Structure 1
């Protein structure tokens, strides 16, 4: 599943291509993808993209009038971009977005459809999709330590809990713990201050390093 580094790169790439451009229309090809009904998907047609941001492991595209398209790629979802239209009859294409300067579409490999698209309105609607975990690259050491020790979980569970830390999943949590030389089954409330420092530094270094690589 795409995590913080992967989603951050997607956000940057989408922002570069569509910020300031008009979303002409959205064609949902899979009935399992769209997980919201109000506002309707048709309400986004003709709106200009004002912002693109990461929301945990989700991609949020902000449009005129406070509307947001929120995509969760899950495990096998991938986004594609071309200046010309894709072949919309493809079985793996779940949704296609036509902009005034090109097309972006979502594919999902396999037979199970887990990717999700939602349309929400305003900051309140957007935050309703936010699990509430702190941003690990923005947090101070004190804030990181407080969040880590807020529950007595294993380090693996704490790092991957979106209510504690935003955007970290199985893949990068393993990288982080290896770099910090800490056991995934160590309990978060049993760590020494020095171990919390190591975990904080390893988290930031790992996420930044992989974002740069990608």
Structure 2
């Protein structure tokens, strides 16, 4: 799922292409991607794009007349920048936003359709899509600590809670916690001052570094291959591979459809965290530390 770094890079690319441009039309290849009925797509045609912003993991295009286009790419949604009037990509194509200078195509791989488009009228309607999490790149250490301690959760859950922090998801929470040298299962209310400061610095530096990396990879081209598994990540998506800092194999916890990746040596003092599925199956045979599996 595109998270804050990917969304930020998408927004930069869109600003250079459609800011100030007039939307000439919206084409829907899959009508179910549109989750609103008023205003209609035709109502937005002829209005220029006056701003592009991020709300959580959503990309918002602001148009003249108080209209907004809110796009949530979810897990497999992506953008493509095509020639003006280009055909919507087959099978994976969801919609196209047409401008005189090009077409922004929205696609989604796989069979599950989760990506969405909301067409809105007015600021109040847009505010309903803001879950209220703080912007960590703008927050002070005190604001960060306050948001973290608002509810008693694991650090993994807290970082990915959109009511607490805006734009952080499964992938970058793993990278943040690895950089901070903190367990994903440590409770948010149990951090000492040094741990809280490390987490604050790691959150901001991880997101900033990845924005810079993704921006450099794209250059002047429209960004592509913005996936949840970025080449160069330390732990996320690297189960069983060596940690780049200590060489120990990256571990994981699987819960429902989500995976948490971490380095036991760097983050948990060598202790392997219990995977609900495997640990229940293996019981006493579940290896508790890296020494038991190495």
1:155 and 2:155 matched:
yes
Name the CA distance, whole Å, in 2 between partners of 1:92 and 1:48. 27
Partner of 1:139: 139
- Max Rg structure: 2
Partner of 2:37: 37
| Contact 2:88-2:94 at 8 Å conserved across structures | no
Partner of 2:166: 166
Partner of 1:75: 75
Write the deviation string for residues 68-108 of structure 1: whole angstroms up to 9, x where unpaired.
00000111111011233322361211001111211111011
Name the CA distance, whole Å, in 2 between partners of 1:203 and 1:51. 27
Name the CA distance, whole Å, in 2 between partners of 1:8 and 1:128. 21
- Larger strand share, 1 or 2: 1
Name the CA distance, whole Å, in 1 between partners of 2:210 and 2:62. 26
Structure 1: give runs of 5+ residues left out of the alignment: none
1:108 and 2:108 matched:
yes
Partner of 1:93: 93
Name the CA distance, whole Å, in 1 between partners of 2:88 and 2:11. 23
Write the deviation string for residues 105-135 of structure 1: whole angstroms up to 9, x where unpaired.
1011111111000011222111100111001
In the TM superposition, what are the counterparts of 1:178-189 in structure 2 within 5 Å? Answer: 178-189=178-189
Name the CA distance, whole Å, in 2 between partners of 1:88 and 1:158. 38
Name the CA distance, whole Å, in 1 between partners of 2:199 and 2:4. 17
Name the CA distance, whole Å, in 1 between partners of 2:32 and 2:135. 30
Deviates more, 1:31-40 or 1:158-167: 31-40
TM-score normalized by the length of structure 2: 0.71
TM-score normalized by the length of structure 1: 0.98
After superposition, the CA RMSD in angstroms is 0.9
Which 4+ runs in 1 deviate beyond 3 A?
none
